[in-house]
Amino acid sequence: MSRAFVTGLRGTALSADERAFLADAAPWGLILFRRNVESPDQVRRLTGDFRDALGWKAPVLIDQEGGRVQRLTAPHWRTYPSGRQLAGAAAVAGDLELIEDVARLIGDDLAAVGIDVDCAPCLDIATPGMTPAIGDRSYGERPDRVAAAGRAFANGLTAAGVLPVIKHVPGHGRARVDSHHELPVVDADLDSLAATDFAPFAALADLPAAMTAHLVYTAIDADRPATQSPIVIERIIRDRIGFDGLLFSDDLSMNALKGTLAERARATLAAGCDIALHCSGDMGEMVAVAAEAPELVGKAAARAERALKGRAGSPHDDADGVLARLDAALAAFDVAGV
């Protein structure tokens, strides 16, 4: 039986110690980064070897949003625009279906090498002064437009047989510092948060998976980041937003969280995250996280099972046409200067 964590790996192929770890620790899934990627054939081997080590078609995750956040890159894969560029270009061109079609091509790229979960779309609302760590990953400032773009992107991934993971719930757009390095603190009142930051997540609450934000909302829980706050997870994500899908933490290795990796994992799972995400590929950290991750049972297991039912799709039948539309829309967007 799988345990309630996702792990990273050190390099482009499974080492003997990693293979032994996977067989013993039984993580629910694997997440890949650029350090794990060289070529399509190599990624296929890595995802296949990972699943062979576990003995089932375990999920393989990646962050492939477009723009600055894409782990599969040139020369072997297409490069895609950022969320802000894609949403803006689609709006200027009057071709809102473009977002779904581009996301389907991204999903096709992933499915072709054995990756079946994309940690996207990013539903964080753009705000003045927000951290560049979000920046142009956001689809924009208006909750309704962010929700519409996110829905289209998620639909495209799903059509390709790739599970979308909406992030960073309940909203990361007000952060002024990068949670990779320090803990953001948001002082907005609850009504303002509900009207803006929470709104895209509420609009897409029917989707099967989401990822938490490592930041403190002082109006909700001034003592703990959302990832480790039972108050945020139960009262806001589960109740107010209405999300009942599979809930991943953001990466436990990020410096927004304090304590040892074991302490971080324990607090994250105790707060109500279904899956603890650990990305570094450091074996000592992997062992510490695994020791805190229980078997995936109960509601968390049911959510995971529901989420994985979406891993069936087919390639887009007109990729060249989509890319031509994308190029034309991006050119119009550049001319418009918006």
Residue 14 and residue 93 in one domain = no
Please report whether residue 289 resides in a domain.
no
Whether the predicted pLDDT of 311 surpasses 90: no
**pTM for this prediction:** 0.96
DSSP annotation of 204 reads T
Indicate if 17 and 155 belong to the same structural domain. no
Per-residue model confidence as pLDDT tens digits over 42-59: 999 999 999 999 999 999
pLDDT value at residue 337: 65
Answer yes or no: do 63 and 52 share one domain. Answer: no
Which stretch of 45-59, 160-174, 285-299, 301-315 has the lowest confidence by average pLDDT? 301-315
SS3 for 214-263 is CCEECCCECCCCHHHCHHHHHHHHHHHCCCCCEEEEEECCCCCCCCCHHH
49 and 185, same domain (yes or no): no
Residue 203 lies in a domain: yes
Decide if 223 is catalytic: no
Read off the pLDDT of residues 168-227 as tens digits, 9 standing for 90 and up.
999 999 999 889 999 999 999 999 999 999 999 999 999 999 999 999 999 999 999 999
Please pick, among 76, 180, 244, 282, the residue that the annotation labels catalytic: 180
The 10s digit of each residue's pLDDT in 95-107 is 999 999 999 999 9
Q: Are residues 49 and 66 in the same domain?
A: no
CATH classification of the domain holding 85: 3.20.20.300
138 lies in a domain? yes
Residues 271 and 150 in one domain: yes
- Neighbour count for residue 214 (Cβ, 10 Å): 25
187 and 209 inside one domain:
yes
- 251, two tokens: 């990466």
Catalytic residue status for 250: yes
Judge whether 257 lies within some domain.
yes
CA quadruple 68, 283, 39, 208: dihedral sign:
negative
Please name which of 191, 262, 259 lies closest in space to residue 225, comparing C-alpha atoms: 259
* One domain for residues 37 and 68: no
Q: How far is CA 216 from CA 58, 98, 122, 225, in A?
A: 32, 35, 19, 4
Domain assignment of residue 322, yes or no: no
Q: Does residue 47 lie in a domain region?
A: yes
Cβ–Cβ under 8 Å, residues 250 and 211: yes
Statement to judge: residues 129 and 208 lie in one domain = yes
- The answer to whether residues 18 and 125 belong to one domain is no
Q: 49 lies in which domain range?
A: 1-57
String of DSSP letters for 61-120: EE-EEETTEESS-TTTS-----HHHHHHHHHHHT-THHHHHHHHHHHHHHHTTT--EE--
Q: How confident is the model at residue 338 (pLDDT cuts 50, 70, 90)?
A: low
Same domain, 53 and 142: no
Average pLDDT, the chain: 96
On whether residue 108 sits in a domain, the answer given is no
Name the domain count of the chain.
Answer: 2
H/E run at residue 143: helix 143-159
Going from the C-alpha of 4 to that of each of 32, 152, 290, 298, the distances in angstroms are 17, 29, 8, 11
Catalytic residue among 250, 251, 274, 316: 250
* 232 and 97 co-located in one domain: yes
Residue 229 lies in a domain: yes
**134-143 pLDDT, tens digit each:** 999 999 999 9
